[in-house]
Amino acid sequence: MTELNCPYCNFDEYDVIAKNDFGVVLPEPHTLSKGHAVIVPLRHVGSFFEITDKERKSLMSLLEQARNELNLRYQPTGFHIGFNDGQVFGEATEHVHIHIIPRYENQTLALDTRWGFKS
């Protein structure tokens, strides 16, 4: 099931970093660091707690694939991984997504309003 106005349901195949039967890795349009990406279920679902076991395992597999790909492309020092669940911080989409944010030595990560911080 897809939603017409959902950016995570209506992605361009050209942007896909990795994909499997239940999810996709996409570049985050509002990056917090070089290589910032999101892991998204293909089914439009609003909560991590509403996804199926197959979807959850698929997203975790994609998270690992994203980490491997981002390590190859950008050689970060580490990663910040997280997601919001529920109507918090004025989230623009109701489609659950997991952020994987590469971290680099001597780079401060400035979290923004998506994470409950004032910009």
Locate 96 and state its tokens.
């659950």
CB-neighbour burial class of residue 77 (10 A; exposed 0-12, middle 13-18, buried 19+): exposed
CATH for the stretch 13-111: 3.30.428.10
pLDDT above 80 (res 3): no
pTM: 0.84
Kindly report the CA angle at 116 between 61 and 44, in degrees rounded to 5?
40
pLDDT tier for residue 64 given thresholds of 50, 70 and 90:
very high
How is the chain split into domains, by residue range?
13-111
Residue type for 78, please? G
Locate 52 and state its tokens.
């199926």
pLDDT in tens, 19-56: 999 999 999 988 889 999 999 999 999 899 999 999 99
